[in-house]
Amino acid sequence: MATDALQATGSVADAAGSLKLNDLLKVLLTQLTHQDPLKPVDNTQFIAQIAQFASLDSAQQLNQNIQQLISLQAVNQTVGLIGRTVTATTSSGTVTGKIGAVSLAATVPTFSITTSDARVVPNVTIGQIQTILPNP
């Protein structure tokens, strides 16, 4: 029944992202409350469902931790570029200059590049960088 409930919401991956462990335990409790007393749930099946719920919760926590690690890594890479001369491709073309400021307010760190003619190009992401030159 629990797998039927998950599949009814779409794919299992979509359901895993929106359901919490408490939601799944409520489904299990409802299943136990409304079971036929003459045909109770098999203990092995019951334990397997609980193990699946615990596994799902662990996978969700692991996913959250990995997302935090990825964000931290992106911040570390971006902050390490302050003062470095870079070449980046932007919507207005290729820009070469020094990274002067980093913004960590968005979900993806962005920085500003100051060109040799003192023009400031804002909102450049780490993915737009083509070349990083060594400091003199």
pLDDT value of residue 107: 72
When pLDDT is cut at 50, 70 and 90, the band that residue 1 belongs to is very low
Spatial contact of 74 and 127, defined as CB atoms under 8 Å apart: no
When pLDDT is cut at 50, 70 and 90, the band that residue 18 belongs to is low
For 99-132, write each residue's pLDDT tens digit. Answer: 988 887 767 788 899 998 989 999 888 889 999 9
Sequence-separated (6 or more) residues with CB below 8 Å from residue 70:
none
Domain residue ranges of the chain, discontinuous segments joined by +: 2-76, 82-132
The structure's pTM equals: 0.52
